[in-house]
Structure 1
Amino acid sequence: MAVPRQYRRLFTPERIYMGALGLSGCAALVSVGLPPTERGELAASIASATLGAAIGGLSVDTFLLSRPGGWVFGRGPRWILSLLVGCLILSAAAATLLTALAGIGSYWVGMGAACALTVFNAFASLALRIKKFLFVYSMRALTGATLVGAYALLYATDRRDGGTWSVAWFGVQSFAGIVLSAVVLSWAWRARTARTSGVTAAEFRTDLTAMGKLHIGVCAQMLTYRLDQILVARFAGSGPLGVYALAVAALEFAQAGAVVRAQRILVDRDREDTTPDRTGLILRAALPVAVAAVAGLGVLGFIRPEYNDAWLYGLLLIPGAMAVAAGKTWSALLLKLRGEQATTVVALTAMCVAVALYFVLIPAAGAYGAAVASSGAYLVYAVRTRLSLRQAPAPLLTQRVM
């Protein structure tokens, strides 16, 4: 039976994605039941796994999402699975090195979760490539709901150590990766097409070249976004990291609209019609969310005094959150109009600024320095992306950014 139109409007991809973020936020809120030092251990494992998947995953998720229509079936399952296996090995290795750098967190949780995230992201990109937005975002929402339940159970049973909660987080990510990959593989099996020849050497080189160019930029972006937490763990310790990571998670709510917009732009990359720039609308929607997140952190600090600094970190992160909201959409447009090299140059510029600021401000000012450095680096990223986008010869650029 068809779903009535008024109900379909209630379950748009944007709203489902916001719901998924909301559930992730609930998980973060439940995690404040941990003391800051224990929450710092949990945050360190998450940061090492997330950044490890970004560095070792070779940006296979963005690469698959940006391929032209029919590319996946044209290459065949053997080539796609070979890429994925290589990414899993590198992700585990990268997570191990990052855990060692942080000096906090579980090595095996970091390695396993990095692999789980790589699998989830890769198969989510394949689903998004055929415009299964509702399915992918619903899976993210289910993951968030499961994580909330797992954390709540641990809290209720008085198991309040960061190591145990890290294992629970790892288990949920693994479950999500297995379910998503199984569903996408079943779709691929039903829609399989015959191919008369394997991947040629020229196709192989083309794929690796495009992936390499894209990965340098995406890796640079992720270092800009997550290296601060690794260095806060190293230089300030698990307690400040636990509070700072909470503020970062709260401000990520403001980026939901930009993430969905960027993914839609990449999915339609092979279309030649003009793509309107709606950055102004995204920013006007993001700012109230960011302010509300900081206010919520203030209330939390009143209830749990050990988290009292979280709202100050959030306040310092607001300019960066707005810059990321604009930069994500501009970056996707830049990739569509000028290719991987243009986005890579921008990302490397922002990363150089970020690393310099992180290594100067974090040892000197701890998590406060991290918040200031992050906002500064994100602003550089957004401005540099916009300037590069203006050089693209497309009708898009004649439209005013509000």
Structure 2
Amino acid sequence: MVGPGRDGRPGQRVLGLLRRFVSPERLYIAALGLTGLAALVSVTLPATERGELAANMVSATMGAALGGLSLDTFLLSRPAGWIFSRGRSWIFLIVGLSLVLTAAVAALLTAFAGIGSYAVGIGAACGLTVFNTAASLGLRLKRFWFVYSMRAAGGAVLVAGYAILFLRGEVDGGLWSVLWLGVQLVAAAVLAMAVLVWARRFRPIPAATAGRADYRADAVAVGQLHVGVCAQMLTYRLSQILVARFAGAGPLGVYALAVAALEFAQSGAVVRSQRILAERDPDAIQDQSRQVVKSALPVASLAVIGLAALGLLAPDYRHAWLFGLLLLPGTLALSAGKTWSAALLKRSGERATTGVALVTMSVSGVLYFLLIPWLGAFGAALASSVAYGVYAFRTRQSLHRSSHLLLNRMA
């Protein structure tokens, strides 16, 4: 029987021990690991069925990113006290607008891809938008452990659900997509409720003090940031939509697997980027790209080896390791670029990161439309890796320029 913790609540001591030995970084890596495991379990599907699952996922994730107004990044980058100064009505307004746009974008992407379910794409996109927004509010409150625990729990449930479906002989990509949808909606609901509970502790909530100029400044900042995030998402995910349209479900299922495997290597970069965004003193931010690349390289290499082994066991996925090998240089560049981008956002604002993202999107868009109709998924992997390299290079250039400007202002 577990006794009460120091504050008298049962189980508090156990939770305290877990938080002491399981860091937020480890939880986040565990969450990504479970997501990767879910992707691995999904290879028990035929490639065409997995392609349907991947199409639903990419339509939903892109719908949340393009229609979600980048609220997760925007809220993380706001200064202390911003939420109280704006008031609840302003927060609910922008969240509601983002959900409407998310649903519309997910529907359009599903139609363009020609593969997938409108219900799954729209529902999961809205769930992701709610989850990401609630997660950013939780991270602002330094609830790293709980937020990453929710990500890990969602991944664990998804893996278990996929395993049950496989054991029952259900190899329908549409059914697996419905399970994925359910996990997203439940995770979003639980985290949103937790944020509302945390918010109650700040009662009485002070009246909003912002004026019209402040709200206009918010709208401009959201616009500038969102343009950049949209450009980044188009660089990261448009290739999968185009593979679905020009190559079909089978190649998409294999290519999306390689993308998911290589993304696991970026876990360290994502955690470090979020911590940079949560840092209140831009001058205290240090360049952590070297450490990120060192940690990403062995993981990315193991991912390629794993894809090669999978190809021997499942002939449908025999080309997955080639896609992974083509994506590997870009993955390392993107890992470094994410930390540079977070530092650039904190130091120079949304306009600087947006400029980099637009340049990268222009390059990637041209490459995608040239190579994917011609080479299919191989063209997607090659174009993506080149685009990620351009993104990292341009971000590093802009960050270096901003550092010199900062030193000149201090001189």
TM over 0.5: yes
Listed one character per residue, the Cα deviations across residues 50-76 of structure 1 (whole Å, up to 9, x for unaligned) are 001100001011111110011112212
Contact 1:120 1:180 in 2 (8 A): yes
Out of 283, 293, 301, the position equivalent to 1:283 is: 293
Contact 2:87 2:208 in 1 (8 A): no
**Alignment match, 2:107:** 96
**Alignment match, 1:300:** 310
Residue 211 of structure 1 and its aligned partner are, at CA, apart by 0.4
RMSD of aligned residue pairs (Cα, Å): 1.8
Structure 2: which amino acid aligns with 1:162?
A: G
Out of 348, 353, 361, the position equivalent to 1:343 is: 353
Listed one character per residue, the Cα deviations across residues 127-161 of structure 1 (whole Å, up to 9, x for unaligned) are 01111111111110001001001111111111111
Structure 2: distance between partners of 1:274 and 1:396: 13
Structure 2: distance between partners of 1:9 and 1:179: 24
Structure 2: which amino acid aligns with 1:314?
A: G
Structure 2: which amino acid aligns with 1:253?
A: F
**Alignment match, 2:374:** 364
Contact 1:274 1:395 in 2 (8 A): no
**Alignment match, 1:77:** 88
Listed one character per residue, the Cα deviations across residues 150-203 of structure 1 (whole Å, up to 9, x for unaligned) are 111111111111111111100000000000000011101122343344653212
Contact 1:23 1:141 in 2 (8 A): yes
CA gap 1:295/1:212 in 2 versus in 1, 3 angstroms: same
1:133 matched to 2:133 = no
Structure 2: distance between partners of 1:90 and 1:150: 30
Structure 2: which amino acid aligns with 1:278?
A: Q
Out of 28, 45, 51, the position equivalent to 1:34 is: 45
Aligned to 1:393, the other structure's residue is in SS state: helix
Contact 2:127 2:184 in 1 (8 A): yes
Structure 2: distance between partners of 1:47 and 1:174: 16
Residue 9 of structure 1 and its aligned partner are, at CA, apart by 5.3
TM-score, normalised to structure 2, is 0.93
**Alignment match, 1:62:** 73
Structure 2: distance between partners of 1:16 and 1:111: 28
CA gap 1:282/1:397 in 2 versus in 1, 3 angstroms: farther
Residue 25 of structure 1 and its aligned partner are, at CA, apart by 0.8
1:172 matched to 2:183 = yes
Contact 1:79 1:199 in 2 (8 A): no
1:45 matched to 2:51 = no
Structure 1: which amino acid aligns with 2:317?
A: Y
Listed one character per residue, the Cα deviations across residues 329-357 of structure 1 (whole Å, up to 9, x for unaligned) are 00000001111000000000000101100
1:306-345 paired onto structure 2 within 5 Å: 306-345=316-355
Identity between Structure 1 and Structure 2 (%): 61
Out of 198, 201, 217, the position equivalent to 1:190 is: 201
Aligned to 1:127, the other structure's residue is in SS state: helix
Structure 2: distance between partners of 1:324 and 1:286: 10
**Alignment match, 1:390:** 400
Residue 3 of structure 1 and its aligned partner are, at CA, apart by 6.5
Aligned residues: 397
CA gap 1:5/1:277 in 2 versus in 1, 3 angstroms: farther
CA gap 1:33/1:128 in 2 versus in 1, 3 angstroms: same
Unaligned runs of 5+ in 1: none
Structure 2: distance between partners of 1:201 and 1:5: 44
1:355 matched to 2:368 = no
Residue 393 of structure 1 and its aligned partner are, at CA, apart by 3.1
Contact 1:218 1:347 in 2 (8 A): yes
Out of 195, 200, 207, the position equivalent to 2:211 is: 200
**Alignment match, 2:172:** 161
Aligned to 2:191, the other structure's residue is in SS state: helix
Structure 2: distance between partners of 1:261 and 1:272: 14
**Alignment match, 2:242:** 231
Aligned to 1:295, the other structure's residue is in SS state: helix
Aligned to 1:58, the other structure's residue is in SS state: coil
**Alignment match, 1:149:** 160
Structure 1: distance between partners of 2:406 and 2:124: 40
TM-score, normalised to structure 1, is 0.96
Stretch moving more, 125-134 or 369-378? 125-134
Structure 2: which amino acid aligns with 1:320?
A: G
Aligned to 1:390, the other structure's residue is in SS state: helix
Residue 7 of structure 1 and its aligned partner are, at CA, apart by 6.2
Structure 1: distance between partners of 2:203 and 2:238: 40
